[in-house]
């Protein structure tokens, strides 16, 4: 029975096809985001809280390090899953539990953290499924177009884990809108967490904030001025200026007199260091950074860096690490 239940949960998380009559799925392309060593962000945090719910000893810090990998392996072994240390669809299916008002514990903290990051719920991450948490779940279910019952079950988990996150600009970022697309800064939980960390680390250099261009729409899809940027894993940032005024003085190219190669190099290094093993490529046409193996040449990338993050499992090979 336990094995059958786990299989049913996995089918729900992967496809959402076994649901109560009348339930819809606004996010038809939704799938659970695979997390592995080197990732960081709110989806890692949710996995850590869920591991704790299952009595695994792991720090809930949003960073998928060696301790989290060991806890995942221990959980997978205990559940009879393939032991690889990666939180993929089967592991998510075993980790997630149905919770509702009145419940207590780390699974509730996982939901509260997800709702805060992805639906701006403003909840205390208390571990108590109180009326405010239920109300936030109801709001998210309406937003997602799924069954509205205030219970966090498999379909709600699937849509919530998939839903994109929005950056915290106090982390050292500034918002730019070069293509007139507006607030299209939504990315996967990992992409946003990794970008925020890179901006914080770059801020320690004293050379200003990191200008963020576009990521994706809230639920992905076509974006004007971009052939990619549809799945929350492509991020545009601007090069750094010698006057550190990249957030106020306008965009430059690597050929500009105010271009600061040394600072831009530091930015690239921090982007890579904040997501080890999860940066597929960085497109930017500075020939020196290309020679150093830090960036790759691509047409029309003289004035911005295009960062592509990746996952070890993804429906598109373009985004697989």
CATH number for the domain harbouring residue 140: 1.10.101.10
CA distances from 311 to 44, 63, 233, 252, 276 (A): 13, 15, 9, 31, 11
> If DSSP codes are grouped into helix, strand and coil, which group holds residue 132?
helix
Can you state the percent helix, strand and coil of the chain, rounding each to 5?
40, 10, 50
Lowest mean pLDDT among 36-45, 96-105, 220-229, 231-240: 220-229
Co-location of 158 and 230 in the same domain: no
> If DSSP codes are grouped into helix, strand and coil, which group holds residue 309?
strand
pLDDT above 50 for 13: no
Please name the residue that has the structure tokens 């996150």: 165
* pLDDT attached to residue 258: 97
* pLDDT attached to residue 175: 94
Tokens standing for residue 265: 């190099």
Tokens standing for residue 289: 């950074």
Confidence of residue 7 (pLDDT cuts 50, 70, 90): very low
Co-location of 221 and 306 in the same domain: yes
Tokens standing for residue 17: 């096809």
**CA quadruple 277, 313, 173, 269: dihedral, nearest 10:** 10
Q: How does DSSP assign 238-280, residue by residue?
A: PPPBTTS-TTTS----TTSTTB-HHHHHHHHHHHHHTSTT-EE
pLDDT above 90 for 250: no
Co-location of 142 and 280 in the same domain: no
Q: How does DSSP assign 154-218, residue by residue?
A: HHHHHHHHHS-B---GGGTEEE--TTS--S--BB-HHHHHHHHHHHHHHHTTTS-PEEE---B-T
* pLDDT attached to residue 180: 76
CA distances from 225 to 97, 177, 181, 207, 297 (A): 41, 11, 9, 29, 19
In this prediction the pTM is 0.90
Instruction: For residue range 210-225, list pLDDT tens digits in order.
Output: 999 999 999 998 888 8
Domain edge (last residue) among 141, 162, 183: 162
Residue-wise burial string across 65-79, b where 16 or more C-beta atoms lie within 10 A, e elsewhere = beebbebbbbbbeeb
Confidence of residue 182 (pLDDT cuts 50, 70, 90): confident
Q: From the CB of residue 80, how many other CB atoms can be counted at a distance below 10 Å?
A: 11
**Dihedral sign computed on CA atoms, order 248, 40, 318, 202:** positive
Closest by Cα among 174, 165, 176 to 219: 165
* pLDDT attached to residue 76: 98
Report how many domains make up the chain: 2
Co-location of 96 and 191 in the same domain: no
Closest by Cα among 120, 212, 118 to 164: 118
User: Would you mind telling me the total number of residues written for the chain in this entry?
Assistant: 321
* pLDDT attached to residue 137: 98
Instruction: For residue range 128-174, list pLDDT tens digits in order.
Output: 999 999 999 999 999 999 999 999 999 999 999 999 999 999 999 99
> If DSSP codes are grouped into helix, strand and coil, which group holds residue 21?
coil
CA distance 90 to 311: 15
Co-location of 64 and 196 in the same domain: no
Co-location of 136 and 212 in the same domain: no
Domain edge (last residue) among 129, 162, 195: 162
Co-location of 147 and 243 in the same domain: no
CA distance 131 to 143: 18
Cβ-contact 273, 204 below 8 angstroms: no
pLDDT above 80 for 9: no
CA distances from 255 to 58, 100, 286 (A): 47, 57, 8
Co-location of 80 and 197 in the same domain: no
Co-location of 201 and 290 in the same domain: yes
> What domain range includes position 306?
169-319
CA distance 60 to 205: 28
């Amino acid at each position: 029975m336990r094995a059958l239940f786990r299989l049913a949960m996995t089918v729900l998380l992967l496809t959402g096809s076994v649901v109560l009559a009348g339930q819809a799925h606004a996010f038809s392309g939704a799938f659970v985001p695979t997390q592995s060593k080197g990732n960081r962000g709110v989806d890692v945090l949710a996995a850590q809280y869920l591991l704790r719910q299952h009595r695994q000893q792991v720090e809930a810090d949003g960073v998928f390090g060696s301790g989290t990998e060991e806890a995942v392996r221990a959980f997978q072994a205990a559940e009879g899953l393939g032991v690889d240390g990666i939180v993929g669809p089967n592991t998510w299916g075993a980790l997630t539990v149905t919770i509702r008002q009145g419940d207590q514990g780390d699974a509730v903290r996982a939901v509260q953290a997800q709702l805060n990051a992805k639906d701006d719920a403003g909840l205390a991450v208390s571990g108590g499924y109180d009326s405010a948490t239920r109300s936030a779940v109801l709001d998210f279910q309406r937003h997602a177009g799924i069954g509205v019952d205030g219970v966090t079950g498999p379909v709600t988990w699937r849509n919530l884990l998939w839903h994109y996150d929005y950056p915290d600009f106090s982390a050292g970022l500034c918002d730019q809108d070069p293509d007139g697309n507006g607030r299209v800064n939504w990315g996967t939980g990992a992409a946003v967490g990794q970008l925020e960390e890179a901006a914080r680390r770059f801020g320690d250099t004293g050379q200003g904030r990191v200008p963020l261009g576009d990521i994706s729409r809230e639920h992905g899809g076509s974006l004007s001025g971009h052939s990619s940027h549809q799945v929350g894993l492509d991020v545009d940032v601007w090069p750094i200026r010698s006057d550190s005024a990249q957030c106020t003085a306008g965009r430059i190219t690597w050929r500009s007199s105010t271009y600061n190669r040394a600072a831009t190099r530091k930015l690239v290094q921090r982007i890579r260091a904040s997501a080890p093993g999860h940066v597929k490529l960085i497109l930017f046409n500075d020939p020196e950074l290309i020679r150093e193996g830090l960036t790759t040449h691509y047409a029309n990338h003289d004035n911005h860096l295009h960062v592509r993050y990746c996952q070890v499992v993804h429906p598109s090979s373009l985004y697989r690490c």
